[in-house]
Amino acid sequence: MAKEQVFDSAFSSLDNMSRTAFSLYILQRILSETETTLYHRARSPLQSVPGPWLSKWTSVVLQYHWFRGQRAFYVERLHREYGPVVCLGPNEVAFNSASAAKKIHSYTRPFRKGELYSNVARYDGQDNVFAARDPQVHARLRRLLSGPMSESSLKGVEHVVKAKADLAVDRMVEEMKTRGAADVMQWWMFFSTDVIGELSFGESFRMLEIGKKNQYVEDLEKVALISGLRIGFPTLMKIFSYLPLFRESRNADLRLQRYAIQSIQRYKNIIAADPWNPTPTLFTKLFKAGEEGLSQEEIVNSAEVYIIAGSDTTAHTLTYLIWAVCRDREVKRRLVEEVAGLEEAYTNEDLKRLLYLGQVLDETLRLFCAAPSGLPRDVPDGGCDVDGYWMPGGTTVSTQAYSMHRDTAIFPEPEKFDPLRWENPSKQMRDNSMPFGGGARSCIGVHLAYMELRFATARFFRAFPNANISSLEGFSDEDMEQVIYFLMFPKNKRCLIQAS
């Protein structure tokens, strides 16, 4: 099926009312844009940036592709046609180079996150580490939260990750026996949700034990889709908040907040009852209110962000990893052989020493990056030069991993899943890789994510050396076509694997 058709079907999964609302919204945008700023646009330095002529006057085409879950593919097409610098709208430019990524996402002077991030759901209207745009607010939250997420601190929770990976694979064994195949996507979703739930709240929602989707997981799934729309279309979401799609998303948000508040309160009660020996979580040391710690609201907010940012991302990466490895006999053989050599009591350190496993992870994160779309940032006041183009202050600039990871000069045959390309990676390959974002705003959960990916992959291929892609219930490659809003997910949200 062609990519256009894939996204048409994603678009058509929206209800009719939502589609009508979108059409009205587009019309309203065209009218308001035409009447206001034509003069300014004609004089803008962005007129000299390569790109479709229409993009210099309106961002309506970009918005249209975003709404259909097609923005990353559209921007990739533009890069192929116009080169590494492309005008996406009268105030928006996409770059596809390591030098631009380094400037935009630097460690010391990163550009501010774009205004779109204000539309990320926030508990009690407060900033969180993901959405914060003010560098000082972000720096304080990041400083407090990053300690427990460091590689050395995470050693203390390694047993939780390993036990949950084992349980996930045990549940797959059961499903394969009864159903003939296991939906690995579902089990990885339960796995990552349980891991981050337990590490945030002291106890998980026991999805792996329950073994079927409940309201909580359904809410999480909705939030992932809807957050993409909310970031892209805040006004639309507000104006048409009564429509079923948007109303349900708001309810899902509220329910997730309620779960978080209740869970944190429960954990606080546990600490109060036994202050010397609480189950450690990522927040245990941060309960000290005031300057040295996080307030109750900030902890709820952070836990909720962790759950939303840390469940789908890991689950979808794992799903594509299993699928891609199972499609290639030689890749599977090498990986199976390597993980089979582990002692039963293997640790994260042991897994880090497995070279081929590392290459499989790198290749999966390149080709099936969970957050592959542009990460919008604002050019600082006064403007600056990016890759030889003058960007006025306030211009939205972005780099997208989807294109950075498919630069043919750096990754020959970019669509080929070839872990060995990472055997001796060049500096260019490393510089162009940004599955976890970049600079000061890069993923805070990167070490946890790697730990989850390693334990889950090793356990899976030790248990299922003969894993194959199933054709049960009509499952095919078409199910795995990528749909990309802000996050990426497989079109039909399932991945069936069998093992003899």
Annotated binding site for heme: 443
Torsion angle of the four alpha carbons 244, 229, 239, 20, in this order, in degrees rounded to the nearest 10? -60
Q: 384, 388, 371: which is closest to 111 by C-alpha?
A: 384
Task: Give yes or no for residue 326 binding ligand HEM (CB under 6 A).
Answer: no
Q: Which residue has the tokens 């606080």?
A: 268
Map tokens 């390149």 to a residue: 366
Smallest gap from Cβ 145 to ligand HEM, in A, equals 7
User: Should residue 228 be labelled a site residue for ligand HEM when binding is judged by CB under 6 A?
Assistant: no
Sign of CA dihedral 81, 73, 15, 61: negative
Name the minimum Å distance from CB 192 to ligand HEM.
Answer: 7
Residue list for the binding site: 443
Cα-flanking dihedrals φ and ψ of residue 92, to 5°? Answer: -145, 130
Tell the smallest beta-carbon distance from residue 317 to ligand HEM (Å): 4
Between 370 and 495, whose beta carbon lies closer to ligand HEM?
A: 370
Nearest to 249 by CA among 286, 284, 218, 292: 218
Q: Which is nearer to ligand HEM, 121 or 243 (CB)?
A: 121
DSSP states of 12-77 as a string? HTS-HHHHHHHHHHHHHHHHHHHHHSHHHHHH-GGGGS-S-GGGGT--HHHHHHHHTT-HHHHHHH
Q: Are strands 467-469 and 389-391 parallel, antiparallel or unpaired?
A: unpaired
Does 29 bind ligand HEM (CB under 6 A)? Our answer is no
CA 47/CA 57 separation, integer angstroms: 9
Phi-psi domain of 288 (left: phi exceeds 0; alpha: psi -120 through 50; beta: other): beta
* Size of site (CB under 6 A) for ligand HEM: 23
Q: Could you say which residues in the range 407-436 bind ligand HEM, by CB under 6 A? A: 435-436
Smallest distance, Å, CB 28 to ligand HEM?
A: 28
Q: Which stretch binds ligand HEM (CB under 6 A): 17-25, 221-229, 443-451, 463-471?
A: 443-451
Interface segment toward ligand HEM; rule CB under 6 A; list 24-32, 33-41, 54-62, 311-319: 311-319
Looking only at residues 114 through 153 of this chain, which bind ligand HEM when binding is defined by CB under 6 A? 129-130, 142
Give 76 or 175: the residue with its C-beta nearer to ligand HEM.
76
Residue from 208, 229, 443, 488 touching ligand HEM (CB under 6 A): that is 443
With binding defined as CB under 6 A, does residue 449 bind ligand HEM?
A: yes
**Least separation, in Å, of the C-beta of 451 and ligand HEM?**
9
**Based on CB atoms, which residue is closest to ligand HEM, 404 or 448?**
448
Task: Name the nearest CA neighbour of 120 among 492, 499, 380, 485.
Answer: 485
Q: How far apart are CA 315 and CA 129, in angstroms?
A: 21
Q: Which of 110, 114, 310, 419 binds ligand HEM (CB under 6 A)?
A: 310
Q: Check binding of 403 to ligand HEM (CB under 6 A).
A: no
Q: Which residues bind ligand HEM (CB under 6 A)?
A: 129-130, 142, 196, 305-306, 309-310, 313-314, 317, 370-371, 375, 435-437, 441, 443-445, 448-449
